[in-house]
Amino acid sequence: MALFKKKKDSDTNDIIAELDPAVVKDGTIDTDEVMRKYDKESNTRIWEGVPKIVVTAFLVLFSVYCICMTLLSTEQAEARLARFLAFIIVIGFMIYPARKTNHRVNHIPWYDIVLMLAGFGAFMYFAMNCTEILLMGARIEPIHVALGIIGILVLAELCRRCVGLPIIIVVACLVIYAFYWQMTSSSNADFYNSLRKVVQKLFYTTSGVIGTPINVCYTYIVLFVIFGAFLERTGIANFFISLANRIAGWSSGGAAKVSVIASALCGMVSGSSVGNTVTTGSVTIPMMKKTGYKPEFAGAVEAASSSGGQIMPPIMGAAAFLMAEYIGIPYIEVATKAIIPALLYFAGIFIAVHLEAKKLGLKGTPKSELPTIPYLLKNCYLILPLVLLVWLVASGTRTMAASAAISIAGAFIIGFINFLLNSWRERAEGESFGAVFMETVKIAALMVVDAFSAGAKNTIAVAVACAMAGMIAGCITVTGLASTIINVIVLMAGDFIIIGLIFTMICCLILGMGVPTTANYCIMASTCAPILIQLGIDPICAHFFVFYFGIAADITPPVALAAYAASAIAKSRPMATAVNATKLGIAKFVVPYIFAFSPILLLVGDNVTLPAVLLNTGTALVGVFGLQCALTNTLFHHHLNPVFRIILAIGGLGMMIPGTVSDIAGLVIIIGMCTVQYILSKKHHSTSALSDETSNTDALPKLNDLELDETVTDNS
């Protein structure tokens, strides 16, 4: 086999042709197939024709119902939440099949209809007889016990379909434990009475499926999910990508930097690590590979950046609203406190891709080919709904629900204006404004239907996962298991808080595997955050700590769904992509420890002043730089000596550990290593230049026109 072969020009189609045939259709990336493979929420039934119209109409009506009920209803909370879950079960079984491979068109099996009606009947019965059942307390009758069991089992099956097994396994173990605890906690407890009490707690009280998580989902999250669906359809994603291209596309390895910025901006709106990875990755990953990045690195950049969208203010994938409810502070405070940690995280990825680009000698896109500033200014009105939302929430003049509803209306207006302008620019010769306007009305109407439909679909998995999270919290609270876990970890940690933090981190990474962000945080807030609070960590820092590590599960092997989805597009090794994503997202593993010991990064504490915040942010940023140099194995365009890598990592961690002594020591180490590496790189350049002058290059093939054979490169 020849060692060299002629280089040929490649374009996007060449890159796409390299992809797994399973994710390629008609020469383009089939993002739907990737989503179905790696994202439970996208494994949906296929409806066409009249059935599709009926299903879509039901989804639209459900979204409108949620908005109206949230804004206008004064009904008892238990009744509203039970009815909400009844409708969720109906649309859930209409959308999600029992198996991943069951994609027959316009088909729903009889057993799904039976499950749908049984679950709907159980929750609707509770909603219609809410007051009577609540007055019974623990004396509910056998019919109520049977309906409660049916409702819980049907909800669990729907959760298996749209969320996955991990959360079901956790819930099942805790329910069994709750039943065992109920049997053994009383001397005269029998099987039926124990079962009745468990069902009553988990189904008919706010300590179970209709607990805090589903209440927050119904009150806030549904509206913001619908808002996100409207925002995506206004064309804001394309604007974000264009903006990212203008900001960073011209620099070394600009394609990867564009991916970082675009994924951060789009991710905060979408709220799904896998969804954001596939949506933006279908554009950015082929672009990165074409630039010269290895497939594993390109996929890792997209996965790490997309999983960070949920920590990016102001929306933060809707989990910020849950956090505000759990901590008891206004939402705008949560978004404000999240700014510095999010910037540190994305700065770490940005530094890593820059170092990799310099090492590989990659160039950026010529400025003449980038979106122009006038173009961006002309389209900057697309972000107005987002600005409106932030202003309404920050001003406090409206409730959260009202702010979301007004922002939805604003997104529709902006979308209509965008469609009208585009239609006018692309109009046929001689076409009147009236004809263009009427065509825009049709497009806008379809956009509204599509957005309401997508919002309802996206709500299903979040609502079901929140209901399961409520059961987890209920089992832990009722049985006293939370206190037991806390006492064990506190006892094991002793006076060393770091040990408790490490144990909590491991719990978060395990419990967060394959679970959507919102439900992920609900589980962490119920199980892990109290542990840290008991250890003496500030409650705000404790909740941010578990939030970060719960999300980190999306890029952490062995269950790194965002990384695996990116690897399908990049045609890379899944585990290698996940490992690279973990290295790129190292800040997500280090920054939580920083604000656990130094809350000033979250703007918490009595010593929060501008100089102190800037100093702590600066030292943390230098520390992230040192760590990324060590992990990417490059500085000043050259590989690092293994000893230098270890020393740089120590220096980076020293800069990130709160304290003047550690900061000074870390700074001295990093400056020293940078100086030594700079001198060595200069010496290397001088030696290389001298060698080039004295060598006879005429007899060798020109490497500018040749490249290594891929098989040989892979084997090496």
Tell me phi and psi for residue 264, to 5 degrees: -65, -45
pLDDT at 87: 95
Q: Rounded to whole angstroms, how far apart are CA atoms 91 and 96?
A: 9
Average pLDDT, 10 consecutive residues per value, the chain (716 residues): 36 40 52 59 79 92 91 86 95 88 78 94 94 87 93 93 82 90 77 88 90 85 85 81 84 82 75 75 84 87 85 74 81 86 88 84 80 86 86 79 88 89 81 86 91 90 86 84 77 78 83 71 78 86 88 80 85 88 86 86 84 88 88 79 88 83 89 87 67 50 41 39
Say if CB 456 and CB 59 are below 8 A apart. Answer: yes
CA dihedral 556, 562, 563, 564 (to 10 degrees): 110
pLDDT at 1: 34
> Which helix (H) or strand (E) element contains residue 28?
strand 28-29
Nearest to 562 by CA among 285, 354, 222: 285
Q: Which two tokens stand for residue 194?
A: 């124990």
What is the pTM for the complete model shown? 0.77
Nearest to 157 by CA among 210, 204, 89, 103: 89
Say if CB 182 and CB 197 are below 8 A apart. Answer: yes
* 8-state DSSP, 658: S
pLDDT at 329: 85
Q: Provide the residue ranges of all domains of the chain, joining segments of one domain with +.
A: 37-210, 215-478, 621-694
Q: How many CA atoms lie within 13 A of 706 on its CB side?
A: 10
Distances (CA, A) of 706 to 17, 75, 693, 701, 711: 21, 73, 21, 8, 15
pLDDT at 44: 80
> Which helix (H) or strand (E) element contains residue 264?
helix 254-270
| Those residues with Cβ within 8 angstroms of residue 604's Cβ, 6 or more apart along the chain or in another chain | 337, 538, 540, 541, 595
Beta strands 24-25 and 4-6 are unpaired
pLDDT at 710: 39
Count Cβ atoms below 10 Å from residue 601 Cβ, excluding itself. Answer: 26
